[in-house]
Amino acid sequence: MSTGTTITKPEPTSLDTAQEVIRAAQQELNQLVRQRVTLMRRIGTVKQTLVCLAVAFGDEVLTPEVLKVLGRGAPRKQPGFTRSCRLILAEAGMPLESRQGMRELERRFPHLVGHLKDPLASVTTVFNRLVASGEVRSFPNGKGRRVWEWIAEPVSPTVDKLWRAEDQRSPNRGPVTKQ
C-alpha cells in the first residue's frame, strides 16, 4: 500500500491561461513604465520652471511647500548626497559631466563631499542611479564624454527668456550656468 501523492502536470489550458495573464500583466507594466517616464519628464519641466522663477525673482516668490519639493526649504540636519546631486542637475540648465557636478557639490555642499574617499565616483554613481529612476538622462557630449541632464520637456519661450535675463545679470555664477 503506497501513501505517496501523485503529481500531475498542469492541464494545457491552465498553462495557456497563465501565459495569457503574464502577457496582460507585462503589457500593463510596459504601459505604466511609459507613463512614469512621461510623468517624470513633466515633473522635471515643472521643477525647472519653478527654479527659473526662483532664480529670476528670488526664493520668496515660492511657497514653503514648493521650496521643500525643490530642496530649498528649511535645511535638514544633514541633507542627503543623492538629494544634493538631484538639486545640482535640476538647477544646472545644461548637461553636466560628473567632474562639473562634483565641483558644484564641493562648492555648495562641502560637508557632503569632504569625507568621501572618491567623490567623483560617488557623484557618477548617484547620477547613474538618477538615470535608472528616470529623473535624469545620460549621453556622450561633443567631446565623447558622458554627461547627465535633468529630464525636462523643451523649455518654453517664457522660461528661456527668464534664464537669459538671469545669465545677463550674473554671468559668473560658476560651472552650472546655462549657456
Give 170's pLDDT tier (boundaries 50, 70, 90): very low
* Burial state string for 2-28 with b = 16 or more CB within 10 A and e = fewer than 16: eeeeeeeeeeeeeeeeeeeeeeeeeee
Give the CA distances from residue 104 to residues 20, 36, 44, 101, in Å, rounded to whole numbers and listed in that order. 51, 29, 20, 5
pLDDT above 90: residue 124: yes
User: Against a cut of 0.85, is the pTM above it?
Assistant: no
The pLDDT, as a whole number, for residue 78 is 46
Do 127 and 101 meet the contact criterion of CB atoms below 8 Å apart? yes
Q: At what angle do helices 98-108 and 119-132 cross, to 10 degrees?
A: 110
How far is it, in rounded angstroms, from Cα 19 to Cα 170?
A: 60
Do 62 and 46 meet the contact criterion of CB atoms below 8 Å apart? no
CA angle 75, 79, 84 (to 5 degrees): 110
pLDDT above 70: residue 96: yes
pLDDT tens-digit series, residues 73-90: 665 544 588 889 988 998
HSE of 3 in the Cβ direction (CA atoms, 13 Å)? 0
Better pLDDT: 102 or 60: 102
- List phi, psi (to 5°) of 47: -60, -40
Give 166's pLDDT tier (boundaries 50, 70, 90): very low
Of the candidate ranges 3-17, 68-82, 155-169, the one whose mean pLDDT is the lowest: 155-169
